[in-house]
Structure 1
């Protein structure tokens, strides 16, 4: 069951990759995760949110402040889910510098995301990671922009009771490194490529000698996009995303010693072919994708030999965006998927198998809006029930907007 939910979570996150937009040199400095959601969780549009995957986008979003206000944490409650803040400033014609501060509920899968496979929670008495600081920089090398991101977060706990020499310590940390580039291959073709490395880990040191427990993960994410400007209206965007995760943890072997065991390994591959069709203030973006995930466990003290695989095809992400006037934007999206899941478990030399049809990520329609007030933008997804209830919204207690993003383009 754990592997099933892990696969679904990783697959959902991996479908928020970086993208290449039509006419990147003329992009608007506006958007956020709410815009992506409003267009059907669309991986084929350009948006400042993709700076979290490829830092080279910072060269395009210079003198820019943006972030997510997130979704509701309760009526009038502080601290919505998924909040983060980021800024990026141009130092000179070739160099930009920026930073991003995220929490442990970050929605993307770049190095701003903390502990993606939950290793910290598996080590006793550790405090979950939070408040991840990422530093960003880009360098213009002519036809190529190179971006670098470095992130770090840590927590610690120490217990030293009065009158005792028995001290207990627990700590956790994660370092992330992200390297990306955007390169002009031809007059109508550009390459968008990024790779990231995340190294979360935790340790627990009790007073008893020999019972120190350490756990760690290694997570690698490689994503690429080729943007082909086929015509003045149509852009073709092939995409690929690969994620590989592995790790180990110490487990007690005797009363006074531990041994290191391998954790389940995770592999994700997503390949898609989308379009951006833009006519005036109207944008149609979307396409099909193939996705495959696999979680494998070797036989050890953590569990029996097993594997669980998901194969999704086709996965449709479709979205439209219409700038109705200078200050209002309407969006509509749709997600549809069909796939299969298979599992194998070996116990005592005998292997059991199971398979079933699945529909993940959850299919359905999405609705979004955007407000433009000069250089300030506010984007949101709309609670679909608001549209269904009509006049019942008067005096109702349901939230009108589900997820919010905000941005400001500095002069």
Structure 2
């Protein structure tokens, strides 16, 4: 959400920032609505002032026994009394239109975000890890997975396209990955573990930016609630409508939850395998900070996600997304892309974004700086730590053996009772 006062102060800067996202100038329309709304406010205030003055004059006329003047003044008061509700209704209507227009505009990119239209314009920050030198042609996960319990056919039979049933070794590996990620974030990086609601109200998904623009990407229940597309929604809304003390910040939350997305990518994209599903598990990180700490927090969060990949010894790279490829609420996003040798390409496994005060304004989430009476909006950040299903895919492809088995990364073996290899069913 944007502050119309800031747009009013520097409309050219606002439009220039949106131009990086490929959007046309928005300030003329917004400031036009703002001017009309303010004119209604000024007219209503003037009418109220006149009404008060006339009411006083009526009393004076009656005291002077000038009934004709009193009646004339009373007629003017009646006209103003009739006009005020109309002015107030017009102000509310224009205010709602302005709020809707502001809510539909994405966050402004940070100054260091590269210009560009899509993923082809993203900037490489660094690469980490060593790609394995296979003595055989590595297979893709959808060829390895079925013998280990990735049951694509049964998942589709039960729920339809883009659903997968995990059985046996695959189910155990998925559980181990989620537990390992959550343990690492909470024990080593100070995130507070949360078990949040999976169903949320309209105001929650509005607060984190999925509504109103992306309603079609979500699943809605018959009672009007929404299945969360990511635990970011529930975790960030913990501070909704709250005023925190500066001493409480930063707040860091982490959750392992199912996530539900009806869109699941463009038609025909990633239809094979376990990459893009309607339902998937993910460990999510959310941080709530002061504005002056959010830059460092963004780097810290991204390094926490990278640490999971480092521990699993999976090769990856960090990309800084260009303005045209960033999400609606992000001011800057780092994507972590893991190497998949079977596919011979990098694939996104985590996105870590700083949203500045964009979500906080939508949620009215504030803090009171020490020694000050006034409040300021907090900054919010979110990131995957990691997407469990895609990490499972990465382990299968990077740790596959020529006989169809899959070695278990050392850090996961304690979660699997010491098991060091997943054997395919014959």
Normalised TM-score (structure 1): 0.23
Larger RCO: 1 or 2 (CA < 8 Å, sep 6+): 2
Higher strand share: 1
Rg: which structure is higher?
2
Higher helix share: 2
